[in-house]
Amino acid sequence: MKTIRTATDLALNGAPPAFAEPLHVGRPNIGDRAALLAQFERILDARWLTNNGPLVQEFEHRIARHLGVKHCVAMCNGTIALEIAIRALGLHGEVIVPSWTFIATAHALYWQGITPVFADIDPSTHNLDPNAVRSMITPRTTGIIGVHLWGRAAPIEELQAIADKHGLQLMFDAAHAFGSTYKGRTIGQFGRCEVLSFHATKSFNTMEGGAIVTNDDELAEATRLMRNFGFSGYDNVIHPGTNGKMIEVCAAAGLANLEALGATQSGNRRTHAAYKQALGNITGVTVLDYDATESNSHHYVVAEVDERCTVTRDQIVAALHAENVLARKYFWPGCHGMKPYRELFPHAGRVLPNTELAAERVLVLPAGPSISSDEIEQIASTIRVMCQWGLGGF
Ligand SMILES: *Cc1c(COP(=O)(O)O)cnc(C)c1O
């Protein structure tokens, strides 16, 4: 029988982990090195490092064209892009968001003095449940931020109908959804605007970076002003603002990585399919599928460990960590369970049963184009043996 070790076992007997180097979730994708260095040369030649430089302008045009959207306003990161979008939409009071998302979605609101109100998810998609959204609307609600979790589109039409009916603003956190589609249309065109993240760990990265994409001319103009301290021309400040500018180095990385996009995505799909196959026959472990009729980066390999499994999700995480496989339990315990929001809403969990279930079950595995099929098989066999033998396998 194959032996599964915990971190404690390893510490006691000093046995080496299965992998000498740690395998991370969100290992950065790096495109062609020569292409990247050539872009860096352009920056040095032009001696233009930031402040809406030529590479940022080119990057914005390329992204807008790629997504089929009128405006791309590039930013230093996705969180600042969310904050600027939230200000530009004039959100205040309460805004409805999922709790099952990366903490930045909630923080971007709270940092702007707005109360994030957490609505529950549909357990089959991990995206906002429209009925849950409806139940959280109060007279103070001014907007909804939908999140396209794991790159799968939120229920856009239902959310838009709710927003229209109640006079609310709708925008999307599309940090996971670069290149995803909804009913065949590319994410980026929906709501008043959508916000992308190009953080190093995302499927497509600019090292750090983000953008607001929209078809709304006025909104695009307002966010451009806010991104650059409200400057219109050299000396004329016409609006309050902040520093949300993307630097040229980040645009350079984006331009190089855009060239590598096809290879990254086919690698991601291969990895997802290999995990699907390798974890396919384990009772109590289900790898989340993506809709075959829509585009998705397949960047996230998300498994759910349910009560049919003989071991818990946390026991699997501990065993994988002992083998240097740094699987993650994103976004445990849900935003509502994190200290700032737990103190604000101590009973939020009562109306978030599906979020709490996902938080107990979800396991995100190291993926991406750079992981090998042998590594995937080794990871899967660790999980398989644990699930077959339980903790008795130790
Ligand atoms: C990564 C991420 C963000 C934040 O983006 P940064 O570029 O890291 O600031 C926001 N929302 C979600 C859902 C994310 O995954």
Q: Which atom from ligand 1 is nearest to the alpha carbon of 202?
A: 1
Looking at the structure, tell me whether residues 221 and 308 fall in a common domain.
Answer: no
State if residue 104 touches ligand 1 by the CB under 6 angstroms criterion. yes
Per-residue pLDDT at 175: 98
pLDDT band for 391, please (50, 70, 90 cuts).
confident
- Mean pLDDT for 145-167 is 98
Looking at the structure, tell me whether residues 16 and 118 fall in a common domain.
Answer: no
Q: Which amino acid is at 149?
A: L
Which domain CATH number covers 373? 3.90.1150.10
Q: Which of 216, 233, 259 is the last residue of a domain?
A: 259
Ligand 1: residue of 197, 207, 299, 302 to mutate (most ligand atoms within 8 A of CB) is 197
State if residue 5 touches ligand 1 by the CB under 6 angstroms criterion. no
Express as a percent the part of the chain with pLDDT over 70: 96
Looking at the structure, tell me whether residues 47 and 105 fall in a common domain.
Answer: yes
State if residue 151 touches ligand 1 by the CB under 6 angstroms criterion. no
Spacing, Cα 290 to ligand 1 middle (Å) = 20
Q: Is residue 1 over pLDDT 50?
A: no
pLDDT band for 186, please (50, 70, 90 cuts).
very high
Which domain CATH number covers 142? 3.40.640.10
Other Cβ atoms closer than 10 A to 236:
8
For 66-105, b where at least 16 C-beta lie within 10 A, e where not — what string? bbebebbbbbbbbbbbbbbbbbbbebbebbbbbbbbbbbb
Q: Which of 259, 280, 298 is the last residue of a domain?
A: 259
Looking at the structure, tell me whether residues 153 and 40 fall in a common domain.
Answer: yes
Per-residue pLDDT at 355: 98
State if residue 197 touches ligand 1 by the CB under 6 angstroms criterion. yes
Alpha-carbon gap, residue 141 to 319, rounded angstroms: 44
Domain count, the chain: 2
Q: Is residue 161 over pLDDT 80?
A: yes
Spacing, Cα 267 to ligand 1 middle (Å) = 22
Per-residue pLDDT at 10: 59
User: Is 337 inside any structural domain?
Assistant: no
Per-residue pLDDT at 346: 95
- Mean pLDDT for 194-202 is 98
Pick the residue whose CA is nearest to atom 10 on ligand 1.
Answer: 104
- Mean pLDDT for 386-392 is 79
Q: Is residue 14 over pLDDT 80?
A: no
State if residue 31 touches ligand 1 by the CB under 6 angstroms criterion. no
Q: Which two tokens stand for residue 394?
A: 């130790």
- Mean pLDDT for 205-226 is 98
State if residue 199 touches ligand 1 by the CB under 6 angstroms criterion. yes
Spacing, Cα 166 to ligand 1 middle (Å) = 28
Spacing, Cα 175 to ligand 1 middle (Å) = 5
Q: Is residue 273 over pLDDT 70?
A: yes
What is the 3 state secondary structure string of the chain? Answer: CCCCCCHHHHHHHCCCCCCCCCEECCCCCCCCHHHHHHHHHHHHHHCCCCCCCHHHHHHHHHHHHHHCCCEEEEECCHHHHHHHHHHHCCCCCEEEEECCCCHHHHHHHHCCCCEEEEECECCCCCCECHHHHHHCCCCCEEEEEEECHHHCCCCHHHHHHHHHHHCCEEEEECCCCCCCEECCEECCCCCCCEEEECCCCCCCCCCCCEEEEECCHHHHHHHHHHHECCECCCCCECCCCCECCCCHHHHHHHHHHHHCHHHHHHHHHHHHHHHHHHCCCCCCEEECCCCCCCCCCCCCEEEEECCCCCCCHHHHHHHHHHCCEECECCCCCCHHHCHHHHHHCCCHHHHCHHHHHHHHHEEEECCCCCCCHHHHHHHHHHHHHHHHHHHHHC
Quick check: 119 and 132 in contact, CB under 8 A? yes
User: Is 356 inside any structural domain?
Assistant: no
pLDDT band for 394, please (50, 70, 90 cuts).
very low
Range of the domain at 303: 7-22+261-327+366-393
Q: Is residue 287 over pLDDT 70?
A: yes
CA angle 149, 201, 17 (to 5 degrees): 110
Q: Which atom from ligand 1 is nearest to the alpha carbon of 209?
A: 7
Q: Is residue 4 over pLDDT 70?
A: no
Spacing, Cα 80 to ligand 1 middle (Å) = 10
pLDDT band for 3, please (50, 70, 90 cuts).
low
> Any idea which residue has 């290149």 for tokens?
179
At 292-322, the pLDDT tens digits run: 999 999 999 999 999 999 999 999 999 999 9
Q: Is residue 269 over pLDDT 60?
A: yes
Counting Cα atoms < 13 Å in the Cβ hemisphere of 358 gives 28
Per-residue pLDDT at 138: 98
Quick check: 149 and 330 in contact, CB under 8 A? no
pLDDT band for 15, please (50, 70, 90 cuts).
confident
Express as a percent the part of the chain with pLDDT over 90: 92
The mean of the pLDDT values for the chain is: 95
Alpha-carbon gap, residue 205 to 257, rounded angstroms: 7
Spacing, Cα 104 to ligand 1 middle (Å) = 6
Spacing, Cα 3 to ligand 1 middle (Å) = 38
Pick the residue whose CA is nearest to atom 7 on ligand 1.
Answer: 78
State if residue 210 touches ligand 1 by the CB under 6 angstroms criterion. yes
Looking at the structure, tell me whether residues 279 and 298 fall in a common domain.
Answer: yes
Q: Is residue 7 over pLDDT 70?
A: no
pLDDT band for 257, please (50, 70, 90 cuts).
very high
Which of 56, 87, 58, 86 is closest to 74 using CA atoms? 56
CA angle 172, 176, 180 (to 5 degrees): 85
φ, ψ (nearest 5 deg) of residue 360? -80, -25
- Mean pLDDT for 192-211 is 98
Q: How many residues does the chain have?
A: 394
Spacing, Cα 81 to ligand 1 middle (Å) = 10
Q: Which atom from ligand 1 is nearest to the alpha carbon of 197?
A: 7
Q: Which of 219, 243, 259 is the last residue of a domain?
A: 259
